[in-house]
Amino acid sequence: MIDYEALRVIWWLLLGALLIGFAVTDGFDLGVGTIFRFVGRGEAERRALLESVEPVWEGNQVWFILGGGAVFAAWPLLYAASFSNLYLAMFLVLIALILRPVGFSFRNRIADARWRKLWDWALFVGGAVPALLFGVAFGNLFLGVAFHFDALMRPVYSGDFLHLLQPFALLAGLVSLAMLTLHGASYAALKVADPMASRASAAGRAAAIAFVILFVAAGAWVAFGIDGQRIAGGADPLAPSDPLAKVVTVARGAWLGNYRSHALLWLVPAVAVLAAAAAGALLGARRAAAAFVCSAVTQAATILTAGIALYPFLMPSSTNPGQGLTIWDASSSAKTLRIMLVAVIVFLPIVLAYTAWVFRVLRGRITLESLARDDGPY
Amino acid sequence: MIDFDVVSLSRLQFALTALYHFLFVPLTLGLSMILLIMEAVYVMTGREIWRRMTQFWGLLFGINFAMGVATGITMEFQFGTNWAYYSHYVGDIFGAPLAIEGLMAFFLEATFVGLFFFGWQRLSRLAHLVVTGLVALGSSLSALWILIANAWMQNPVGAHFNYRTMRMELASFADVLLNPVAQAKFVHTVAAGYVVGSVFVLAISAWYLLRGRNAALAKRSMAVAASFGLACALSVVVLGDESGYLASANQKMKVAAIEAEWHTEPPPAGFTLFGFPDVKTRTTHMALTVPWLLGLIATRSVDEPVEGIDDLVAQARARIASGIEAHRALQELRSNPQDPVARTRFEAHQADLGYGLLLLRYVRNPADATPQQVSAAAWSTVPDVPVLFWCFRLMVALGLFFIALFAVAFYLSTRHRYEQSRAFLRLALASLPLPWIAAELGWVVAEYGRQPWAIDGVLPTFLGVSTVPAGNVAASLAGFIVFYSALAVVEVYLMVRTIGRGPDGLGYWPVAAAAPPGRAQP
């Protein structure tokens, strides 16, 4: 029988796996949404770019939906505190994400230039805004969210919306936007023909350079510019979840504590930088498949870099550090974690298998000629 | 302590977004099944027209599906944004079916829906049929898990309160899965979705026949809708009855309110067919009652009483008294978790803790409640009787109407006499909005009838909200209303436009040489 501590660590890893699954799959269609208006010139080119993601984005997005459900089931306090504290930001993310299903479905149904332009911009917003805001959210985790619990154990937020847009959070948002743009550009370079592919490669190279600079800058800011947190005592990995029981200390640069105590972990951010640089270089050499793999590694390594820095915190509190959420005090019961783990072990391999099959069926490049392929009426 | 503006606004936002989402979900459920039937006929017979039918109705399915997905995103996150305390209080149980829904059902549906549209040339006929089947399976499985979660709100089995974490925790996952309310709700709701899809196909086909367009396609579509719809409409009503039977064990108050049964009658209770429930005097004016019927439906017996509202309120008052004890013991346990006396007392009363929480609407500490406040809290367990009374009757009337509609359609279909009965075609067309009305009324009866509880007997709705400022909720509510209205206009426009162009106007298929009436057409 796996004990409560191990279950909590496993679910922390699974949360990371879900985020990585989201970034690697849905990330590329957010990225394509961000760049297709600029990389594609004219209706046919844009349509080809959109068609590279149209059959798959819907399944990709389930990583996000599942992320919501999994956080609800495994980390109910995190689900409750994060979404209610970031209320208006979450509302904006939802509106932006809602634009995608309708944008993809509605755009091609009417052959009118203004109609399509409208939905093109809706798809741009649906791609770029979430890509930016997910990074802003991560940035706020590093800064700590201004919240505490009241007597009934209700999370109470004491900041406001603009408080979420501090410079470091915006920088984190740009890291995320550059990362997902790189990923979308690599995917487009792989899936569509020239001239879109070469323009996508150029956009991807620019995004890779931007990512490396921004990522390193954010790292330096974490080391020298913002306060991190450490658990000083009171947290029991085997005890029932009670986020009021621990003592937390705050110190400049403390988010690098895990890296300082386990030097091998530095490999993770190093891989993020090197993989992004390699993706940029490979795009320059027109080796799109290898570039896409490197870009996917960048997504994973970046998310892990942030996760390792924050570990074991899930959502630190800036106003009441002792009440911040960690993996030891925000989880479901051991029973629920165990049952959900079984569900993941049974169903995730099935999901991965049929997703791979669908991508295999859809393999091949989309050219301006293949757009005429017969997919039924539209 | 509780901001009742936030409560009202959050409830309104949840109701509007859920009702709006539920405009698209039933059609997705129903159309996906109908697409599967049509494509199965195509694969079995190889007749081109069945493929056209699949593709044409698939177009409308696609427009609707996007809206269902879009509005579903809101639902998955709204518990966290607006119902933070609810999420903390029951996430240990309620979160699991939502997560499994994503993992097992929505992934399946969403991954294969792309291939439904983009796979016609890439897949063999049989493989494409399997893809369509997986989309239909995914959407129905999705409904299963959502309804398991919802049924737990109606009948919270397999869970207990943990005073160490101050929340409900899972005791038996099997009980949550096998919740009898979940089974009844699943069959009732999914069958209702199939009825929505069937009426949709029936009505639009009728319009083509009235216009003399696409006759071959429309008649075959009507035949599918009539037979599938008849079976489903019968299931909805029969299994809706099952739902009423179960509710009497778990949610007696809801049944009493639906029936405006103010006082317990000697068994077997009569069913009030019609009347005007009056909340002030607690009587129903001009009641037209069918003797015995309610007792038979609700208890399946002639000698068990169906409890009336006044008796149920008296029971609630007793449970509130016990709930005050549970709350007091809980406060003591919070300051000293080892206190054996408090623990024993808490265990004795914990089943009624939720009733004690009802008093938080009136006092900061339930132990300080006056008898008037206890009485007010007891009466607050009665949902809105006139609304439930009328919504339920209208829903049932519509359900019976659909059976008749499909029965006639089925008869005309077997006789190949659609064209001769223009009156029926007009009726079928006019019926188009009705199944949505019935589905939304069903939601109102089930969820508005659950009030004042978010989780029946466990967590009052007003307590479940987030601590966000009311202004934020007002802003998001206004945003949703504007944004959703704009989307509704676009969606209806695209639907009407696509239907208006029709299979013959898409410029995709060669227009069949004025398809003559008759059965010999391929």
Task: Please choose, from the candidates A375, A334, A21, A55, the residue with its C-alpha nearest in 3D space to the C-alpha of residue B114.
Answer: A55
The whole-angstrom separation of Cα B203 and Cα B193 is: 15
Q: Give me the residue label for tokens 């690697």.
A: A24
Determine the distance from the C-alpha atom of residue B228 to the mean position of all C-alpha atoms in its chain, rounded to a whole number: 20
Residues 6+ apart with CB under 8 A from B91: A72, A73, A76, A77, A79, A80, A332, B167
pLDDT of the residue at B250 = 65
Establish if B18 touches chain A: CB-CB under 8 angstroms: no
A373, two tokens: 């392929």
- What is the per-residue pLDDT for B262? 86
pLDDT at B77 over 50: yes
Q: How many CB atoms lie within 10 A of CB B338?
A: 7
Confidence of residue B48 (pLDDT cuts 50, 70, 90): very high
Q: Whole-angstrom Cα distance, residue B456 to residue B247?
A: 11
pLDDT for A226:
94
Q: How far is CA B449 from the centre of its chain?
A: 12
Contact B322/A at CB under 8 A: no
Look at A336 and B472 and tell me if their CB atoms are within 8 Å: no
State the DSSP code for B360: G
Q: Is the dihedral of CA A275, A278, A280, A282 positive or negative?
A: negative
Query: How much is the pLDDT for B111?
Result: 95
φ, ψ at A234 (rounded to 5°): 90, -10
Q: Is B124 on the interface with A (CB under 8 A)?
A: no
- Give the closest of B63, B67, B123 to A361, CB-based: B123
CA distance linking residue B29 with residue B65, whole number of Å: 10
Contact (Cβ atoms closer than 8 angstroms) between residue A75 and residue A330: yes
Helix residue spans in B336-469 (DSSP H):
340-349, 353-357, 371-379, 385-415, 422-430, 434-447
Task: Specify whether the CB–CB gap between A376 and B115 falls below 8 A.
Answer: no
Distance CA A190, CA A175 (A): 23
Tokens for B109?
């549906």
Tokens of B23: 């405009």
Q: Is B118 on the interface with A (CB under 8 A)?
A: yes
Dist CA A148 CA A321 (whole Å): 9
Residue A219 pLDDT greater than 80, yes or no: yes
Q: Report residue B337's pLDDT band, with 50, 70 and 90 as the boundaries.
A: confident
Q: How far is CA B513 from CA B214, B357, B417, in A?
A: 11, 71, 21
Looking at the predicted structure, is the pLDDT value of residue B514 above 90? no
**Does the pLDDT at position B474 exceed 90?**
yes
Alpha helical stretches, state H, A22-144: 27-39, 43-53, 57-74, 76-85, 87-107, 113-143
Specify the long-range contacts of residues B508-516, CB closer than 8 Å, at least 24 apart.
Answer: B508/A376, B508/A377, B509/A377, B509/B52, B512/B216, B515/B214, B515/B215, B515/B216
Asked if B309 and B264 touch (Cβ cutoff 8 Å), the reply is: no
Per DSSP, B455 falls in state E
Distance from CA of B10 to the nearest CA of A (A): 12
Q: Reduced to 3 DSSP states, what percent helix, strand and coil does chain A have, rounded to the nearest 5?
A: 70, 5, 20
As a whole number, mean pLDDT of residues A73-77 equals: 96
Provide the token pair at B103: 């993992």
Burial class (CB in 10 A: 0-12, 13-18, 19+), A115: middle
B520 has a pLDDT exceeding 50: no
- What gap in Å lies between CA A13 and CA A7, rounded to an integer? 10
If one compares A125 and B262, the residue with the highest pLDDT of the two is A125
Contacts of A378 in chain B (CB under 8 A): 59
* pLDDT tens, residue by residue, A238-292: 999 989 889 999 999 999 999 999 999 999 999 999 999 999 999 999 999 999 9
Contact state of B169 with A105 under an 8 Å Cβ cutoff: no
Residue indicated by tokens 């004025």: B514
Interface test with A, best of B106, B107, B122, B172 (most A CBs within 10 A): B107
What number is the average pLDDT over the span A124-139? 94
CB contact under 8 A, A59 and B69: no
Angle at A354 between CA B127 and CA A271, to 5 degrees: 145
Percent of chain A surpassing pLDDT 90: 81
B104 lies within 8 A of chain A by CB:
yes
List the Cα angle B378/B381/B382 in 5-degree steps.
115
What is the pLDDT confidence band of residue A373, given thresholds at 50, 70 and 90?
low
Mode of pairing for the β-strands spanning A247-252 and A325-326: unpaired
- pLDDT of amino acid B246: 63
Q: What's the rounded mean pLDDT across residues B375-379?
A: 93
- pLDDT > 80? residue B205: yes
Could you tell me whether strands B271-278 and A155-157 are parallel, antiparallel, or unpaired per DSSP bridges?
unpaired
Model pLDDT, residue B242:
65
Radius of gyration for the alpha carbons in chain A, expressed in angstroms and rounded: 21
DSSP state of A372: G
Q: In whole angstroms, give the CA distance from residue A314 to residue A132.
A: 20
User: Beta partners for B170?
Assistant: B159
Q: What is the DSSP string of B83-143?
A: -HHHHHHHHHHHHHHHHHIIIIIIHHHHHHHHHHHH-TTTS-HHHHHHHHHHHHHHHHHHH
Residues 6 or more apart whose CB falls under 8 angstroms from that of A111 comprise: none
Q: Tell the residue number behind the tokens 């008796």, with chain if given.
A: B311
> Does residue B135 carry a pLDDT above 50?
yes
Question: Model confidence at B516, in pLDDT bands (50, 70, 90)?
Answer: very low
Q: Does B70 touch chain A (CB under 8 A)?
A: yes
- Which of A240, A334, A332 minimizes the C-alpha distance to B89? A332
Distance, C-alpha B114 to centroid of its chain: 27
Give rounded-to-5 percent helix, strand, coil for chain B.
75, 5, 20
Q: What angle do CA A218, A220, A225 make, to 5 degrees?
A: 90
The answer to whether A98 and B71 have CB atoms below 8 angstroms apart is yes
Backbone angles phi, psi at A251, to 5 degrees: -150, 145
Query: Using CA atoms, how far apart are residues B18 and B14, in angstroms rounded to an integer?
Result: 6
Q: Please report residues of B whose CB lies closer than 8 A to that of A164.
A: none
Query: Residue A35: is its pLDDT beyond 60?
Result: yes
Written in H, E and C, the secondary structure of B201-224 is HHHHHHHHHHHCCCHHHHHHHHHH
Amino acid at B277: P
Residue A316 phi/psi, 5° resolution?
-70, 155
Question: Hey, are the CB atoms on B123 and A87 less than 8 Å from each other?
Answer: no
- Please say if the pLDDT value at position B355 is more than 70: yes
Chain center to CA of A49: 22
Cβ of B511 under 8 Å from any chain A Cβ? no
Q: Closest approach of chain B CAs to the CA of A167, in angstroms?
A: 23
Mean pLDDT of B195-210: 96
